[in-house]
Amino acid sequence: MTTTSYPPALPSVPEQEIRAVGNVLIAIDTNATDAREWTARLRPELFHEHSNAFVALHRITAPDAAFTIPGFVAALAEVSQLDHGTAAARASVYTDTQKAAGLADDFDAALRLLEHTEAQRRKIQTGRRMIDDAWEGRGLDLCNAAHVPLLNFLKPSQILAWKPALDHCLVGEALIARGEVVLIAGAAGIGKSRAAFALAVSGATGGDWLGQPVRCLFRSLFIQNENGMHRLHSDFVALKSAGVDLEGAVEVLASPDVGLAFGRPDFRAEVLAACERLQGGGHPLLVIVDPWTECTQGDDKEGYQTALRNIKASLPKGDDAPGLVIVCHTRKPKEEERASGRSLLNTIAGSYSIGSAARAAFVLQKVTDEAADPRRVWSCCKANNCEMPAPTAWTCEDAGFVAVPDFDWDEWRGGNAKPAGRPPKVTEAHVREALVGTILITKKGLALKLMELAKCVQSKAYEAIDRHTKSGLLTKDGDDYRLAG
């Protein structure tokens, strides 16, 4: 029988230590400026198996030192108390294993893994100190026994030295980034969940998401309480038919009996465990929470802020923080109201609290009120990290969204606010032309012809059919239509 020792061993990644040092050494001959900058980003606590190599690197960055590979060999010999030949052989371990390296991307990847490992070591060490304090009689309040600083004040030099990880930005020009909140909003049944799921698909495949480029592949954890197995099954069948395989890249929460109970410690603990499982191996992660109304205990500011804190408490912190997308509803619009641009943010339910917490927000709107019209307008109403992208038009389908070509933006922006006396877009001539060579036609078929002839939206075509029926131009024969007379 195998047993697990406690406390757990402190993790280390010596291969990444070699990788980081090797990148610097190779860059010395090709770009000494980069090599010096990379060395400055390395910290002693990141090196556990190759600490002498770290010390040697920093010694040769001194103003009077030789910033060369021979200089590194000499420094390594001195630090390790080795003869020159042995030090040279040890130095070759770093350069020989990095023949294709010396690149910023490769160095950044190694550094990110070193920092991730160091964060894990700190967690284990903190746990050990807490247990030691308890055994030594310093109280059972373990949270206070080993104090972890609550605040982290940054110097200007630290802020200037910060460089985002290669996978920090997930979508667009930092529209969706790790550690930040993004909203997807819309009326009930409009396709918000499909838009959120399309984001997860784009993260797995690398394809654009509703017109925005995906910057790196990422995995997605879909925490939802909207859709049952029937809907989920049909969605995945549609994706499989389209050749999309999400195994290993996406996990979806089956609607839980307790709801989205982020207020429960055990619920938060299981969400955190799922995040860490999906992030295994250093994969960037996106967490989608759908819907927001299932997370709050009230509509007041305090309830919203508590819900958001509970959600964030369920997620990894620091460099491991995932992007967070929250799916929420818009309020019922007032008659004749059609918001656009930044004003759409005010239509999001609880916008004062949840809207202010988000770095970016998107709203999905119907083109018409016709239930059969699958077209949607997708608008960004907040983008703190970049310029707001222009709105786009799509059809909502089972396997995702398809762009609408030649969308009539003037018609859309005009909405119902037409000047008095403006002539109808669908004229009698359009109706007569649509019925040329036809005796009887269904209402839907006639509407499609009118949409093509008059270049109008579906709702205007149906309105025209009703108007010309009342005027006596058209008459009904059962469920079909024909010219009167």
* Interval 63-78: pLDDT, tens: 889 999 999 999 999 9
> Who has greater pLDDT, 399 or 305?
305
- pLDDT classification of 144: cutoffs 50, 70, 90: very low
Q: If you average pLDDT over residues 267-275, what whole number do you get?
A: 92
Q: Domain 169-412, CATH 3.30.1950.10 — does that match? A: no
> Who has greater pLDDT, 273 or 100?
273
pLDDT at 139: 42
Q: If you average pLDDT over residues 250-272, what whole number do you get?
A: 91
Window from 93-107, 109-123, 322-336, 388-402 with minimum mean pLDDT: 93-107
Q: Coil, helix or strand for 302?
A: helix
CA–CA gap between residue 58 and residue 43 (Å, rounded): 10
CA–CA gap between residue 199 and residue 202 (Å, rounded): 5
> In one letter, which amino acid is 429?
A
Sheet with 360-366, strands from edge to edge, namely 250-252, 219-224, 285-290, 323-329, 181-186, 360-366, 375-383, 392-397, 400-403
Q: Quote the pTM value.
A: 0.58
pLDDT at 408: 85
What value does the mean pLDDT of the chain take? 84
pLDDT at 145: 43
pLDDT at 383: 92
> In one letter, which amino acid is 35?
A
Q: If you average pLDDT over residues 290-295, what whole number do you get?
A: 90
Domain at 1-163: CATH architecture? Orthogonal Bundle (1.10)
Contact (CB, 8 A) for 311 and 305: no
Q: If you average pLDDT over residues 421-426, what whole number do you get?
A: 60
CA–CA gap between residue 421 and residue 162 (Å, rounded): 61
Output the CA–CA distances (angstroms, integers) from residue 431 to 144, 444, 455, 457, in the order listed.
79, 13, 13, 15
The proportion of the chain whose per-residue pLDDT surpasses 70, expressed as a percent, equals 87
Q: Which of 266, 305, 128 lies closest to 274 in space, CA to CA? A: 266
Q: Please write the tens of the pLDDT for every residue from 374-414.
A: 999 999 999 998 888 999 999 988 778 999 988 888 777 76
Enumerate the β-bridge partners of residue 364.
Answer: 186, 378
Sequence-distant (6+) residues with CB within 8 A of 335 are none
Residues 18, 24, 27, 28, CA torsion sign: negative
Q: Which of 354, 348, 484, 356 lies closest to 428 in space, CA to CA? A: 484
Contact (CB, 8 A) for 402 and 411: no
Contact (CB, 8 A) for 259 and 296: no
In eight-state DSSP terms, residue 354 is: I
Cβ burial of 200 (10 Å; 0-12, 13-18, 19+) is: buried
CA–CA gap between residue 327 and residue 323 (Å, rounded): 13
pLDDT at 142: 42
Q: Coil, helix or strand for 338?
A: coil
pLDDT at 143: 44
Q: Which parts of 69-209 are beta strand (E)?
A: 169-171, 176-177, 181-186
